[in-house]
Amino acid sequence: MVGADPMPGRSPGREHTGAMDRIIVRRSGPLEGTVTIGGAKNSVLKLMAASLLAPGTHVLHRVPRITDVACMRELLGSMGVRTSWIGPSSLEIVVGDEIEPEAPYELVEKFRASIVVMGPLLARCGRARVALPGGDDFGPRPIDMHLRALEDLGATFTTAHGYIEARADHLLGTRLLLEFPSVGATENALMASVRAKGTTTIDNAAREPEIADLAAYLNRMGAVILGAGSSTITVEGVDELHPVEHTVVADRIEAATYLAALGVAGGELTLVDARHEHMDMLIAKLGEMGMRISPDPDGIWAMAPRRLRAVDVSTLPYPGVATDYKPLLVGMLASADGVGIVTENLFSGRFRYVDELVRMGADIRTEGHHAVVRGKAVLSGAPVRAPDIRAGAALVVAALKAEGETVVADAHHIDRGYEDLVGKLASVGADVRRG
Ligand code: EPU
């Protein structure tokens, strides 16, 4: 259950933005100033799930106030875990001796990341009942690799009435070979194997910084994990884990969003707490587009010219250019100088926002996994709809170079992954408001 907010003056509504579901943007720039980057959505949700592994009181710092965190709090609450804000971005998680190892459909359908409770529940309770997640706007998103990895560790599964029933009297360390470096499957395997008997090796593991963050949290809890952040992770199972405090890694996708806004609007920004080394490939691409970006003692410093140059780009698992950056890159290319070809290699359906950009005057053709973007000097403000988190943010970013007013509807999608996108952009000079 989502607890009452103990921080008067801070809007708990950021987590559950019911009203004001539109973001209104006018042409802006140059941007100037400082934006503080929050904790990574794609890490914190897994850390919250990992807390199920150890009874006691955990504290996570740099937790973003986003809807997906509220949903994970609700899911943990339904299992009997209490969570409460104990500071502007610090979340206390109290895990009891008894937890209910079930993830009900009405909570799972709200956010797909909930599947990562499977590994920790199996490791902690020896059983789990988790609703099957549906597809989403990216197209089908199977979980076969999650289940195969857990099966190899000794779990058995049956499915009935839309639920997966999992059992594992004993998890036994073994060699897992992932068919693809899936982020979620690596995380589920990691969280199950920390309590398995003996040694587990995860080969072809995902290498994202959020995986390394999860391993750091688990190691602090008493796990023995080597190699996280590389393609081979080795885990020595332990009998017991204990609760800890941990600061969530900074969100590289949020940081990329402000770099994209800067690229479209021009100007100079410092992104406090952003991690340059987690964004190497993207930063190289943005450099080719004409931006200057350097590590700074505070985070990342960046400067953008009045107009970007077009480049070609393909998404790949980390350390390649992340699929989550792609809508932002397409949004940037829409008003860049020249033609860019963008290739999506991870999610088949991830071009749906292109129609919305076209409504804003962008010249984009899609063919299968490719989009050809012919840059226009300016776009034209229009009513559009946010189809998902990153695409929604990309529409806001692209609108910074659109004459007139762009109204982005369904802004609740953006709130799933961004704490106060509008406030942060406005604070560096963008003409953007909620409405
Ligand atoms: N896949 C399978 N079978 C599986 C698992 C994955 O076929 O069992 C396929 C997927 O369908 C997809 C590819 O493998 O085509 C990659 O999926 P992956 O498992 O790596 O992604 P994920 O764990 O479901 C996370 C992020 C996404 C991000 C991807 C890729 C979270 C909560 N989500 O998803 O982030 O796009 O990794 O980096 O961590 C977002 O933040 O908006 C977001 C969607």
Residue 138: band (very low, low, confident or very high) from pLDDT cuts 50, 70, 90: low
Question: What single-letter amino acid sits at 249?
Answer: V
The residues annotated with a catalytic role in the active site are: 136
pLDDT computed for residue 154 by the predictor: 98
The confidence score (pLDDT) of residue 103 equals 96
Q: pTM for this structure?
A: 0.95
* Contact present, 183 and 209 (Cβ < 8 Å): no
First to last CA, the chain: 29
Sorting pLDDT into bands at 50, 70 and 90, what band is 10? very low
What average pLDDT score do residues 238-244 get?
Answer: 97
Q: Report the nearest-CA residue for atom 21 of ligand 1.
A: 183
What band does 111 get if pLDDT is binned at 50, 70 and 90? Answer: confident
pLDDT at 210 > cutoff 80: yes
* pLDDT value of position 15: 45
Distance of CA 247 from the midpoint of ligand 1 (Å) = 23
| Mean pLDDT, residues 240-258 | 98
Cα 406 to middle of ligand 1, angstroms: 30
- Model pLDDT for residues 356-380, shown as the tens digit of each residue: 999 999 999 999 899 999 999 999 9
For residue 267, is pLDDT > 90?
yes
Q: Looking at residue 4, what is its pLDDT?
A: 34
Pocket test for ligand 1, best of 67, 148, 182 (most atoms within 8 A of CB): 182
Average pLDDT over residues 188-207: 98
Residue whose CA is at the smallest distance from ligand 1 atom 13: 346
H runs (alpha helix) in 347-388: 354-359
Element (H, E) at 233: strand 232-236
The average pLDDT across 306-335 equals: 97
| Residue in the structure block whose two tokens are 């997640």 | 133
| Percentage of the residues of the chain whose pLDDT score is greater than 70 | 93
148 within ligand 1 shell (Cβ under 6 A): no
So what's the pLDDT on residue 232?
A: 98
Mean pLDDT value across the chain: 93
Q: Which three-class secondary structure string do you get for 253-317?
A: HHHHHHHHHHHHHCEEEEEECCCHHHCHHHHHHHHHCCCEEEEECCEEEEEECCCCECCCEEECC
Closest atom, ligand 1, to C-alpha of 43: 39
The string of pLDDT tens digits covering residues 39-59 is 999 999 999 999 999 999 999
**Of 333, 338, 341, nearest in space to 357 by CA:** 333
Q: Is the pLDDT of residue 17 over 70?
A: no
CA of 184 to the centre of ligand 1 (A): 6
1 has pLDDT over 50 = no
Q: Is the CB of 324 under 6 A from ligand 1?
A: yes
More confident residue, 146 or 111: 146
Q: Among residues of the chain, what percentage have pLDDT more than 90? A: 90
Closest by CA to 402, choosing from 36, 14, 27, is 27
Residue 347 pLDDT: 83
Cβ of 322 less than 6 Å from ligand 1: yes
Residue 91 has pLDDT above 90, yes or no: yes
What's the pLDDT band for 172 if we cut at 50, 70, 90?
Answer: very high
196 closest CA partner among 224, 230, 219, 233: 224
| 19 pLDDT higher than 70 | no
- pLDDT tens readout for residues 273-305: 999 999 999 999 999 999 999 999 999 999 999
